[in-house]
Amino acid sequence: MNTDNAVATDREAAVTAEVLASFDTTPDARLRAIMHSLVRHLHSFAREVRLTEPEWETAIEFLTRAGHVTDDRRQEFILLSDVLGLSMLTVAINEPDAPGATESTVFGPFFVDDAPEIAQGGDIAQGATGTACHVTGRVRSVTGEPVAGARIDVWEADDDGFYDVQYPDDRTAGRAWLHSGADGGYRFWSVLPAPYPIPHDGPVGDLLTATGRGPMRPAHLHFMVTAPGFRRLITHIFLAEDPYLDSDAVFGVKDSLIVDVGHHNDSPPAGAPTEGPWTSITFDLVLAPGDGH
Ligand code: BEZ
Ligand code: FE
């Protein structure tokens, strides 16, 4: 190493050492460990890419724009975490060690708390457009016992790829919750989900464009399932026929969550919201033991 390089290396190491030391007295041990590790990795990233000052400014402008487009209906920072795979890495790190349980995937920004309750066999579409889809299955434990009375929240985009929170009015559509029956069974009507782009008219969209990546998510139906004595399950099911399974913008696809779709031209089951062609999906929701969180 020549002398100039040695001087630069010492200068850089001194900055890192000083910043690390500034967190040494953090009272909370977990926060101290996180800040030490963050500084070590962030500094070594900057050293590895030899970060220039214009690049640092671009990053600050990017984060500033993300802040400006974020409000209570749009969360650009979660979207950034999603496209960087940080959301799915966090899901993977925290996946329970419960063989046979349904795998989790990314929560996404489109859940809302005040969805309507429906009875077994009810319709979550409530005006969301698309081909009717009958969704059935059982909620059970990893040892096969039925889980009665589980709360099943479901939400989805319509066949134009929009969630109700993206509609210009305040309609609720494509979301509801229901309880599993005494045998753990559940059934409801919905519309067959369609692939859609994640919001890409902001800085995260620009990042995808600049890096030659696409914004599309494969079609999916979101589930959140809670029941006393079990870990909360947040997942989706994906359609085997979807063209975007291998290029999900947020890396949420897992093989175990891909389901076949039945396409039917005969009369739908009694209580169907349609007389026309319909589709069907069957998927069991298998819960890991836990404390309801
Ligand atoms: C979603 O599936 O709803 C979603 C997940 C991550 C980013 C955007 C949308
Ligand atoms: Fe979604």
Q: Whose CA is nearest to atom 7 of ligand 1?
A: 108
Q: Would the CB of 88 count as within 6 Å of ligand 1?
A: no
Identity of residue 211: T
Question: CA-CA distance, 293 to 290, in Å (whole number)?
Answer: 7
Atom of ligand 1 nearest to the CA of 108: 5
Global pTM value: 0.91
H or E stretch covering 152: strand 151-155
Helix (H, G, I), strand (E, B) or coil at 29: helix
Question: CA-CA distance, 243 to 280, in Å (whole number)?
Answer: 19
Q: Whose CA is nearest to atom 2 of ligand 1?
A: 108
Torsion of CA 207, 211, 215, 216, to 10 degrees: -160
Q: Whose CA is nearest to atom 1 of ligand 1?
A: 108
With the most atoms of ligand 1 within 8 angstroms of its CB, the residue from 74, 217, 235 to mutate is 217
Question: What are the residues whose beta carbons fall under 8 Å from the beta carbon of 240, sequence distance 6 or more?
Answer: 258, 259, 260, 261
Q: Would the CB of 208 count as within 6 Å of ligand 1?
A: no
| pLDDT by 10s per residue, the chain, length 293 | 566 788 888 999 999 999 999 999 999 999 999 999 999 999 999 999 999 999 999 999 999 999 999 987 788 999 999 999 999 999 999 998 899 999 999 999 899 888 999 999 999 999 899 999 999 999 999 999 999 999 999 999 999 999 998 888 889 999 999 999 999 999 999 999 999 999 999 999 999 999 999 999 999 999 999 999 999 999 999 999 999 999 999 999 999 999 999 999 998 888 888 888 999 999 999 999 998 77
Q: Would the CB of 79 count as within 6 Å of ligand 1?
A: yes
Question: CA-CA distance, 154 to 281, in Å (whole number)?
Answer: 14
Question: What are the residues whose beta carbons fall under 8 Å from the beta carbon of 78, sequence distance 6 or more?
Answer: 87, 109
- CA–centroid distance, 253 to ligand 1, in Å, is 12
- CA–centroid distance, 227 to ligand 2, in Å, is 23
Radius of gyration of the chain (CA): 23
